[in-house]
Chain A
Amino acid sequence: METQIVLEKWPGVISTVSIGATKAEGGTRSNVVKIGGQTAMPLLFREGVIPNKPKIAFEIWDIAPLDFDEELLCAYGKAIRDPFAWAEVCVNDYKAELLCLKMQGTHPDFGNKTPQDAAKFVSTLLHKVKVPLVILGSGDDFKDNLVMPVCSEAAKGERCLIGCAVQENYKTLVASVLADGHNIIAESPIDINIAKQLNILISDMGLALERIAINPTIGALGYGLEYAYSIMERARLAALSGDKTLASPFICFVGQETWKTKEAKVSPQQGIIWETLTATSLIQSGADLLVMRHPQAARNVSKHIEALFRE
């Protein structure tokens, strides 16, 4: 007797966020990276359409990293001391599809670069590498509100993904993103309600829900991964059931969370495994964009994605 496979049909669809604008679209990027767009739970190919594979963005900083593990520093060699060289290694040597630039150097405690210097850095980087960009502030609300508007303006027309908007501080960023034609990252503290509320607040300011990616805040393997996993799964179930205010793709900061753990620092191999496993687990729960640090881990995950989508 043939086994009948029960298939769920979902009324909702996750919005497609396009990162990067090519010449035809008024930008200077070599390619466009699309995330989201699915109509089924992760990897359930028969239940709906999953048009875009999960993507990997390489994390780079605007200054030489301060607290990176030895293993990470080795992976990039000398290039890591020069942010532009670092970016080029990611793109040229490791074939990064997109880069995630963190403006760490603008943080008052880590260099306190001026907004003007930050904007100049973004312009130069856009000139040197042609892949689409994710641009993050330093995490200091006050400084970010000075830095991000000018960085956004410097990248005007390039359709970047810019973050992170939080419930206590989203207005300045939303206004810039609106003015300069970017997408936004909405960050919530592993809380499905706040994720939803922030999406509503952002869309109330006139930015379409289709231009938001959710950063649900994750923990690395062994550090609350399962909590993030279940929040993402719940949000995705709600979105596919028709809740438009939660129907945004997820961006997960895998690298920064993994390399904080003491397990990642035990041996060179273990850090890579830890980052790989954290990323692959999150793919199961619906991650659309993984921001990673170690090129070997990124390669592992990339292979894993290819295998998953080989059908």
Chain B
Amino acid sequence: MQKFKVTFFPDNLSVTVEQDKTILSAAISAGVYINSSCGGDGICGRCKVVVKQGRVNSQPNGIITAQERKNNVYLACLTTIHSDLDVFVPDSSRINFDKLTPEELEERLSGLYSKSEDVLPAQENFEDKFFKHSPFATKIYLELPEPTLNDSVSDLERLYRALRNFGEFPAIETGLFNIRQLGELLRDYAWKVTVTLGRRNDAVEIVLIEPGDTTGTNFGLCFDIGTTTISGQLVNLNSKKILGTKATYNQQAAFGSDVITRIVYAAKTDGLEKLHNAVSDTMNQIIKDLVSECQVDLNNVNCIVCSGNTTMIHLFLNMDPSHIRRQPYVPTANFIPVLRASEAGININPRGLLSCVPGVSSYVGGDITAGILSSRIYQKEAPCILIDIGTNGEIVLGNRDFLVACAASAGPAFEGSGVTSGMRASSGAIQKVSINKDDFAVKYSTIQDKLPKGICGSGYIDLLSEMLKVGIIDKAGKIKAEGRRIRTTDTGKEFVVCFKEDIRSQADIVINEADIENLKRSKGAIYSACAILVKHLDLEFSAVHTIFIAGGFGTYLDIEKAINIGLLPDLPHSKFIFIGNSSLAGSREVLLSNQAKTMADSLALKITYFELSVNPEYMEEYSQALFFPHTDLTKFPTVKF
């Protein structure tokens, strides 16, 4: 097979690939990240590149316009390589893998923008002292009595005996590696050692034996593995102090933007391996950054707890996810036993342990268990709702007596995928919008006040609400007004949010009727899932005490506008609490407390999974929700347009 050299500009990165490979796969090999929301099916049109030199072969598609064809624009995923190539990758086709800035993180992880004032930062909601401090890994300093003729038990038994003085351990185990070095270690260091104990399923494992007293340096990690964003925290297990938090985009995005596309990709040759590597690479990068910034020795990081949706956990652990998407939707495992982190390719102490917060079903994962844990809805007397809004919207309704969860396929529109000018909530994303009712002039603000590059989920909520308010769109989501900013294209009408001249960009930032339809379906799916769950339990929304909103979506959410478009039920704003990344908070609790871990296990067993797809009423509810705010206006009495 002939091989060709492909060079990507302006990166000037080259890679040699076989003939007939696609430009997209060459880009992945070269480490150039090109957008590909559809996973390389030629549907999303996000991977446009310019072939400056060389011969290619491209499948026909309806996405490249005649003008673009003249300019040698191709879809990277449908274009195969037939000679050495020079390829230019425009900014608009790139995935922005920049790490989140501290400010962005601040907002992402704790909180929260809302026009209404009733917003609590994440930490306040999580009573720190609730669970007894009993971290996943504990260090104990031991001074062993030297053996004598009267006390001649073996070195290992001597160690066990000393440990038992600290408590009733069900069973203690350790690896051969530790036993081999034990004799010499004890004698060299005057019988003074520190053992690191890890909880491993029902036993206690001696993870590590070190000379002297090192109890002061015991660290752990917690992670939220999201479909879009991966967040990690480094925690001092002795003081419970959070030393650092970092988040970055999940590099799996290069293989598709939603879990289903990724499951499909995993079935391709080497697909699962690539997805697994993408997530473990991302996590290792975060870990590396955290330990170096906090000046912590990697060898003192002894354990890690992860939560994520069921698919993400499967991909992270390199387990086959294919049955998740096939009826009857059965995952390989919901409860993952404690493993060695190195088995999952995570670089911490080579003998360090890994635990995953247990999931409930294929579409309600450990992130939800963690969310329930950290929001404490399982303790509340009055029924509460937890909404975790992501590509799969997950909803939990319950209190201390019961917990019912369902998952609604909301689609990635609110995460900025599958919409014309959509982008993730990162630097340069429009997040707040107001529109003048007379001339439709748009006022907006962007994340970090950069020039706008696109619109993120919260920006879309504001935009829809404002467009309804000033009468640009009707309640069905069709553009009805006319003006300088409204124009008709081949695909229908669109509203120009920013003209390209004003933002020094190649393209206008627009929202068209198809985008609105997409967003309408997303908000409809989430609202109707909540409504069905409430109805199924014979409750009314008014009986719900508090609604916790979690997820990257809730980051800059304006409650009033979210109610205006019918995403959230019309309740007093004081009933809504944004809890930011509840999955990360929950996994931190599991990291720090064995009680929390036991609680998470029992919660995952206690949660009743409610399958919406077999519920005949869901379609009916969903159809009613495909209107702004809702076909039944009496459900949204405070919304007036």
Indicate whether A245 sits within 8 Å of B475 (C-beta atoms), given known contacts A171-B480, A193-B624, A193-B626. no
Contact present for A204 and B474 (CB under 8 Å): yes
Q: How far is the CA of A191 from the CA of B631 in the complex (A)?
A: 12
Shortest CB–CB separation between residue B438 and chain A, in angstroms?
19
Contact present for B631 and A204 (CB under 8 Å): no
Does A55 reach chain B (CB closer than 8 Å)? Answer: no
Shortest CB–CB separation between residue B135 and chain A, in angstroms?
53
Q: How far is the CA of A200 from the CA of B476 in the complex (A)?
A: 10
Q: What are 12 residue pairs bridging A and B, where the CB atoms are less than 8 Å apart in the complex?
A: A167-B476, A167-B478, A168-B478, A193-B623, A193-B624, A196-B632, A197-B627, A197-B631, A200-B475, A200-B631, A204-B641, A243-B634
Indicate whether A204 sits within 8 Å of B624 (C-beta atoms), given known contacts A171-B480, A197-B631, A245-B633. no
Convert A79-97 into 0s and 1s, putting 1 for each residue whose CB lies closer than 8 angstroms to a CB of B.
Answer: 0000000000000000000
Contact present for B631 and A196 (CB under 8 Å): yes
Convert A228-243 into 0s and 1s, putting 1 for each residue whose CB lies closer than 8 angstroms to a CB of B.
Answer: 0000000000000001
Does A208 reach chain B (CB closer than 8 Å)? Answer: no
Query: Looking at the complex, which one of A191, A197, A243 makes contact with B476 (CB distance below 8 Å)?
Result: A197
Contact present for A197 and B480 (CB under 8 Å): no
Given A197-B476, A245-B633, 17 other A-B residues pairs in contact with their CB atoms under 8 A: A167-B478, A168-B478, A171-B480, A191-B623, A193-B626, A196-B631, A196-B632, A197-B475, A197-B631, A200-B627, A200-B631, A201-B475, A201-B476, A204-B474, A204-B475, A243-B632, A243-B634
List A residues 197-249 near B (Cβ within 8 Å): 197, 200-201, 204, 243, 245
Residues of chain A within 8 A (CB-CB) of B475 are 197, 200-201, 204
Shortest CB–CB separation between residue B532 and chain A, in angstroms?
15
Among residues of A, the one whose C-beta sits closest to the C-beta of B480 is A171
Residues of chain B within 8 A (CB-CB) of A243 are 632, 634
Convert A141-182 into 0s and 1s, putting 1 for each residue whose CB lies closer than 8 angstroms to a CB of B.
Answer: 000000000000000000000000001100100000000000
Among residues of B, the one whose C-beta sits closest to the C-beta of A199 is B631
Q: How far is the CA of A201 from the CA of B627 in the complex (A)?
A: 10
- Interface, chain B (partner A; CB < 8 A): 474-476, 478, 480, 623-624, 626-627, 631-634, 641
Q: How far is the CA of A243 from the CA of B474 in the complex (A)?
A: 21
With a 10 A CB-CB cut-off, give which of A167, A191, A197, A200 has the most chain B CB atoms.
A197
Report whether over half of chain B's contact residues are helix, strand or loop; otherwise say mixed: loop
Shortest CB–CB separation between residue A137 and chain B, in angstroms?
19
Residues of chain A within 8 A (CB-CB) of B641 are 204
Report whether over half of chain A's contact residues are helix, strand or loop; otherwise say mixed: helix
Shortest CB–CB separation between residue B364 and chain A, in angstroms?
28
Residues of chain A within 8 A (CB-CB) of B626 are 193
Contact present for A200 and B633 (CB under 8 Å): yes
Q: How far is the CA of A36 from the CA of B194 in the complex (A)?
A: 88
Among residues of B, the one whose C-beta sits closest to the C-beta of A238 is B632
Shortest CB–CB separation between residue B450 and chain A, in angstroms?
37
Among residues of B, the one whose C-beta sits closest to the C-beta of A191 is B623
Residues of chain B within 8 A (CB-CB) of A200 are 475, 627, 631, 633
Among residues of B, the one whose C-beta sits closest to the C-beta of A168 is B478
Q: How far is the CA of A26 from the CA of B488 in the complex (A)?
A: 41
Shortest CB–CB separation between residue A196 and chain B, in angstroms?
5
Q: How far is the CA of A243 from the CA of B624 in the complex (A)?
A: 14
Residues of chain B within 8 A (CB-CB) of A191 are 623
Q: How far is the CA of A168 from the CA of B478 in the complex (A)?
A: 8
Q: How far is the CA of A201 from the CA of B641 in the complex (A)?
A: 12
Q: How far is the CA of A167 from the CA of B623 in the complex (A)?
A: 14
Q: How far is the CA of A243 from the CA of B633 in the complex (A)?
A: 10
Contact present for B623 and A201 (CB under 8 Å): no
Residues of chain A within 8 A (CB-CB) of B474 are 201, 204
Shortest CB–CB separation between residue A189 and chain B, in angstroms?
12
Residues of chain B within 8 A (CB-CB) of A204 are 474-475, 641
Residues of chain A within 8 A (CB-CB) of B633 are 200, 245
Shortest CB–CB separation between residue B39 and chain A, in angstroms?
32
Residues of chain A within 8 A (CB-CB) of B623 are 191, 193
Residues of chain B within 8 A (CB-CB) of A167 are 476, 478
Q: How far is the CA of A268 from the CA of B608 in the complex (A)?
A: 62
Residues of chain B within 8 A (CB-CB) of A168 are 478
Shortest CB–CB separation between residue A145 and chain B, in angstroms?
14
Q: How far is the CA of A167 from the CA of B520 in the complex (A)?
A: 16
Shortest CB–CB separation between residue A216 and chain B, in angstroms?
15
List A residues 246-286 near B (Cβ within 8 Å): none
Q: How far is the CA of A167 from the CA of B476 in the complex (A)?
A: 8
Residues of chain B within 8 A (CB-CB) of A196 are 631-632
Shortest CB–CB separation between residue B528 and chain A, in angstroms?
12
Q: How far is the CA of A171 from the CA of B476 in the complex (A)?
A: 12
Residues of chain B within 8 A (CB-CB) of A197 are 475-476, 627, 631
Q: How far is the CA of A53 from the CA of B230 in the complex (A)?
A: 66
Residues of chain A within 8 A (CB-CB) of B631 are 193, 196-197, 200
Residues of chain A within 8 A (CB-CB) of B634 are 243
Residues of chain A within 8 A (CB-CB) of B632 are 196, 243
Q: How far is the CA of A200 from the CA of B629 in the complex (A)?
A: 12
Shortest CB–CB separation between residue B581 and chain A, in angstroms?
36
Residues of chain A within 8 A (CB-CB) of B480 are 171
Q: How far is the CA of A33 from the CA of B633 in the complex (A)?
A: 31
Q: How far is the CA of A166 from the CA of B384 in the complex (A)?
A: 40
Among residues of B, the one whose C-beta sits closest to the C-beta of A195 is B631
Among residues of B, the one whose C-beta sits closest to the C-beta of A242 is B634
Q: How far is the CA of A204 from the CA of B632 in the complex (A)?
A: 14
Q: How far is the CA of A190 from the CA of B91 in the complex (A)?
A: 47
Among residues of B, the one whose C-beta sits closest to the C-beta of A200 is B475
